[in-house]
Chains A and B, each alone.
Chain A
Amino acid sequence: MNTSGGTRERKSDHIRYLLETEGDAIEANTLGFNEGRYESVADLEDYEALKSEARAIKEDAIERLPELIDELTETVEANGGTVYLADDAADANRYIREIADENDAERLVKSKSMTSEELEVNEALEADGVDVVETDLGEWVLQVADEAPSHLVAPAIHKSEDEIARLFNEQFEPDEPLETAEELTTFARDRLGELIVDADIGMTGANVITADSGSLMLVTSEGNARKTAVVPDTHVAVAGVEKIVPSVEDLAPFIELIGRSGTGQDITSYVSLLTPPVDSPVVDFDESDVALADRDDDREFHLVLIDNGRMAMREDDHLRETLYCIRCSACANTCGNFQSVGGHAFGGETYTGGIATGWEAGVHGQESAAAFNDLCTGCSRCVEACPVEIDIPWINTVVRDRINREGDDGRFEFVYDELVPDEEDTGSIDPQKRLFGNYETLAKLGSATAPVSNWLADLGPVRSVLERTVGIDRRRSLPAFERETLVDWFESRGPRVSAADAEREAVLYPDTYTNYIDVDRGKAAVRVLEAMDVHVRVPAVGESGRAPLSQGMIATADTKASRVYAGLAEHLDAGRDVVVIEPSDLAMFHSEYEKFLPETSFERLRDGSYEILEYVYGCLENGANGARLRTGDGGPDVAYHSHCQQRTLGVDRYTRAVFETLDYDVVESDVECCGMAGSFGYKQEYYELSMDVGDRLAEQFTAPEAQNRLVVASGTSCEDQLEDVLDRDAAHPVEVLDPRSRLH
C-alpha cells in the first residue's frame, strides 16, 4: 500500500487527536493492567509451564477442530440445545434474527462478546425492531455514547469517570446529577437490572467451550453474564469455532491465566461454567409470586458457532496461531504504542491491540489490518506476555509483507530502485518502507560520501524533500555517517590479543549502525573484549535482515539471513563465539532466523551467539579480571534502559549483573519500549506517537534520583530516542566499561 504525504498527514492528525483526547485514560489503565500482570503471574508456581500447557491444548484443539465441532454438536444436542455453524456474519445474523422472530422477542440483553461485535449482530436485530441492550457496564457506556470499544477486555477504557458522568447526566437527566464511579455504577445497575428481568432472550459469548460436556466458560466480574444467561428462558451463545477445547479438564490453565494476563487479576469474580440448557429456574417477573423451586421451565439454548474466515485461517501457516488467542488483552497492555493511543488507532473494524492484525486479516480481510498494522514496531514485549505463546510480531510482519505485495507494479522511479536493491517482488510497496528496509545500502552510501552526506542531510531543503517523498519527520535528527567503518578501522589496527595468548576467540558482529554510524561503540566493544583476554575479529558480515523485516519485506530478510550465516559459519565451525552489540540483531539470530535457516544452521548460530554484556558476564564468571575494565569506582552513576527485544530474550539481566559486579550505581527504567523502535520514530506519521511513548521513559530519567546520571541504553534506537527526548547524551553499556572511557 502506497502511503502518500496526504495520507500520512491524516494519519498523524488522527493519532494526535487520540493522544490528546483519550491518551491519558488509556495510559493510566493499560499501565495498571500491565503492572498487575507482572505481579499476578509472579505468584504462579510455574508460569512458563502453565503457558506451555495452554498453548499445547490450543494447538491440539485447532488441529482437531473439525472433529471437535462434530463432537460438540452431538453433545449440545444430546443436552437439549441446538448448534448452528454459521459460514459468515450474514449467515449467523440471519439465524439469530430467526430465533428472535420465533420467540416474538421485543428485547434481547447481551453480555460482552467481541465475536458478536464482529458480526454486528446488534444492528441486524435492531433493523428488525428488537431492542438490544448491552449489559456489561463498559459496553453499555459505549452503546449510550455510540462509540466503538477501544480495548478487548475493558471496552470503555478510553473514558474517564468525568466523561461518563457527563454522558449519563446529559442522556438520562437524573434527579441528582451523577458524579462518582459508585453513583454511576448504581445508576447503571438499576437501570439495566430492570431491562434484564424483562428481556425475552439473553445473548452471551463464550471464552472457551468444552466438546465433551457442551459447557461454556464465561469469564466476568460484574455478574451480568450470569444474569443474561439465566434470567430469560432463551439463551443464545455466539462463539468463534476456535473457542472449542476437547474437555472440561482443559479449562484449568485458561482459568488461571486469563485474568492474570489481561487485567492482572488472579481470577475474575465469576467464572461461569454453564452446560445449557441449565437447571436453574427462569427468573420471571411476570409470575413474580411463583416460587423459583416450583417452576418447570422448558429452556431454549442455541449455540451459534462462527466460521467467518476461521477455517481458512486454520489452513494458513502464518495466521493459524491467531486462533490460539484467548483475547486476554495482554498484548495490548504491554505494548508501548497501545499504551499511548489505545484501540481507536491500534485496531481494525472489530479487534484491537497486537493480535488484532491477525484477527482482522482473517475475519475482515487485509484492508482492515492495513490501517493499523504499522503500529506494531516488532518490539516483541507482547510475546512473553501472551498466555498461549503466540509470536504476535511475526503475524504482524507476515501481514505487512502481504499488504506490501498487494496492488499494482511499476510505481517506482528508476533512481529509487537503484537505492533499494531488495529481493521484493513488489506490488505497491511504500517507498518509505523500501527506504528503511534497505537501510544498509543507504548507510554504505552515506559512509562512503561522508562528511558530505551528513552536511547534505542537515540542509533544510533536503529534509523537506525527505519528509515529502518518504515521510522522514524533519523534527528528528538524522544519524551522522562515519567515513571509516568499524570493519575498516579494525582491519588497519589489527587485534591486540593474539590468538595464541587468548582465553577465547570471538567474532564481533558489525551491525549496520555500529559499522557505519556509531563506530565508537564498536571500538569500545573491541577494547572491552580484549581487556578480557579475548582474541577479536571483525569480519565484513552484512546486515542481519532486521531492517527489511521490520518493513514487512520477508524475502529480502530471508536472503540477508543466508548471507549472514554464510559469513559466520566458518567462525562457528572454528569454535569462535559470535558477539553482538545490537539486541535487535541478536533477536534475529535467536528467534526470526528459525524461519529463514535450516534447523541445524539456526541452532548453531543461536547457541554460538551472545549479547555483548552477556559475553562480558560470562568472561567475568570464568575468571577474567574485572579490574581491567572501568568500574563504578571511577565511572559514572548510571540511568539504564534495557532494550525491548533484549528483555524478551531474557539477556538484560547480564547487563544488570555486570554493572553490579563492577560496583556501578544504577537506576533502571521499567518502561516496555522507548518508542523509537528502529525506523518507526523517524516516520512523519508516527513522530508524535513515538515521542509520547518516549515521554514515559523521559519521565523516569528526569526524576530526581535519575536526572544527574549518565543515560545508558543497549539499543541504537533507544539511545537515539533518549537523546531526542532528554536532550542528554546516551551511551551503550560497553562504552561505559571501556577502559579508555571518559563518559560521565
Chain B
Amino acid sequence: MSAESGSIRNRFEEALADLDVALTRTTPAAFESTLQEVVTEPVVGTPLPFEDVSLPEWVDDEPTPATLEAAMTSVTAASFGIADYGSVVLPSTSEGSEPVSLFPELHVPVLHERDLVADMPTAIERLGPELRDGGSAIVATGPSATADMGALVEGAHGPNAVHVVLLETGGDDE
C-alpha cells in the first residue's frame, strides 16, 4: 500500500469518526464473521460485485418488498468512498441495491480500501462517465436525518445508523 492511499484511508476514517459513523476494517477472509457482529437480523442485501468476497448464505440476497420491509439490516456494495467527507457512493442497480440500502434501520455499505478517493472533484470525475452512460448513484454520508421536528433526529425516511465495512486490499495491491 502506498503512503498516499494510507493517508486517504486515515482521512476517511477520521471523517467517519467525526460523523459518529461506525467503521470496521476487515479482510476478505474475515468478512463473514465481521458482518455477523455488525448486523441485526433479519438481514437483506444485494450481491457484492467483488471477486474476493460475497454475501454469506444467511443474508437474503433476493429481497422482495415484503422481506425488505421486515428487514432490520441491509448490506450493499459501495462503488467507492470519498475520504474528505466520509461518504460512500451507492450505485443504482437492477438488483435494487439503492432502495435496499434505504429501507432498513441499519445500512452496511461494503467497500474496498483501494476504492477510496481523496476528494469530491475526484469522485465526481469518476462518476462522470458512469452518469453519461445512464447510471445513477447516491453520495451517502452518515444516516438519514431531519431537523424539521424541532430538534435533530437521526433516522428520518432512511436508515438511522450506518456501519461501514472496509475491506483491506489484499494480494497485488499490498
Contacts and interface: CB of A to CB of B under 8 A. Distances in A.
Interface stretch (B3-11, B27-35, B86-94): B86-94
B106 to A, nearest CB: 14
**Chain A interface size, under 10 / 10 to 19 / 20 to 34 / 35 or more:** 35 or more
A293 B95 contact: yes
B97, B124, B136, B153 — most chain A CB neighbours (10 Å): B136
A283 B99 contact: yes
B99 A292 contact: yes
Interface in A283-297: 283-285, 287-294
Interface string A140-158: 0100000000000011100
B142 interface: yes
A276 B137 CA distance: 11
A294 B61 CA distance: 12
A interface majority secondary structure: mixed
Given A226-B102, A226-B138, A293 B157 contact: no
B93 to A, nearest CB: 6
Contact of B127 (A273, A284, A294): A273
A275 B131 contact: yes
A281 B96 contact: yes
Given A280-B93, A281-B99, A154 B120 contact: no
A24 to B, nearest CB: 12
Contacts of B156: 137, 185, 189, 221-224
A130 interface: no
A256 interface: yes
Contacts of B151: 161, 180-181
B68 A156 contact: no
B80 interface: no
B85 A252 contact: no
A293 B131 contact: no
Interface in B139-156: 139-153, 155-156
Given A249-B124, A293-B94, A137 B149 contact: yes
B64 interface: yes
B17 to A, nearest CB: 14
A270 B132 contact: no
A457 interface: no
A270 B139 contact: yes
B143 to A, nearest CB: 7
Contact of B99 (A193, A213, A230): A230
B158 interface: yes
Contact of A280 (B65, B92, B131, B148): B92
A449 interface: no
A154 B147 contact: yes
A249 B130 CA distance: 12
B98 interface: yes
Contacts of B170: none
Contacts of B141: 267-271
**Chain B interface size, under 10 / 10 to 19 / 20 to 34 / 35 or more:** 35 or more
B66 A288 contact: yes
A193 B135 contact: no
Interface string A556-577: 0000000000000000000000
B96 A222 contact: no
B149 A224 contact: no
B41 interface: no
B92 A278 contact: yes
A313 interface: no
B49 interface: no
A283 B158 contact: no
A181 B92 contact: no
Interface string B95-126: 11111101100000000000000001101110
B56 interface: no
Nearest to B44: A292
B81 interface: no
A244 to B, nearest CB: 14
Contacts of A222: 144-146, 148, 156-158
Interface in A476-517: none
B134 A79 contact: yes
A180 B159 CA distance: 19
Contacts of A284: 65
A249 B127 CA distance: 8
A135 B92 contact: no
B96 A293 contact: yes
A283 B103 CA distance: 11
Interface string B61-76: 0111110110000000
Contact of A161 (B121, B139, B149, B159): B149
B65 A248 contact: no
Given A137-B149, A181-B153, A281-B96, A275 B135 contact: yes
B146 A248 contact: no
Contacts of B132: 212-213, 248
Given A252-B121, A275-B136, A137 B128 contact: no
A432 to B, nearest CB: 39
Contact of A249 (B66, B98, B125, B139): B125
Contacts of B63: 291-292
A226 B150 contact: no
B149 to A, nearest CB: 4
A428 to B, nearest CB: 42
B135 A279 contact: yes
Interface in A617-647: none
A231 B146 contact: no
A584 B1 CA distance: 57
Interface in A206-248: 210, 212-213, 215, 221-224, 226-227, 230-231, 247-248
A163 B92 CA distance: 39
A575 B69 CA distance: 77
A666 interface: no
A681 B97 CA distance: 57
B136 A256 contact: no
A101 interface: no
A251 interface: yes
A194 to B, nearest CB: 10
A604 B170 CA distance: 64
A477 B130 CA distance: 65
30 contacts: A79-B134, A185-B148, A185-B155, A188-B149, A192-B157, A213-B131, A223-B102, A224-B156, A226-B98, A226-B138, A227-B99, A227-B102, A227-B157, A255-B124, A269-B142, A269-B143, A270-B140, A271-B139, A273-B136, A273-B139, A275-B134, A280-B92, A280-B94, A281-B99, A283-B99, A288-B66, A288-B69, A289-B66, A290-B64, A293-B94
Interface of A: 79, 135-138, 141, 154-156, 159-164, 180-182, 184-186, 188-189, 192-193, 197, 210, 212-213, 215, 221-224, 226-227, 230-231, 247-249, 251-252, 255-256, 263, 266-276, 278-281, 283-285, 287-294
Given A213-B128, A272-B136, A293-B94, 12 more contacts: A138-B148, A161-B150, A184-B149, A185-B149, A226-B99, A226-B158, A230-B99, A289-B66, A292-B63, A292-B65, A292-B100, A293-B96
Identify the 10 closest CB pairs spanning chains A and B, nearest first: A161-B150, A223-B158, A292-B96, A138-B148, A222-B156, A181-B151, A223-B157, A137-B148, A223-B144, A181-B149
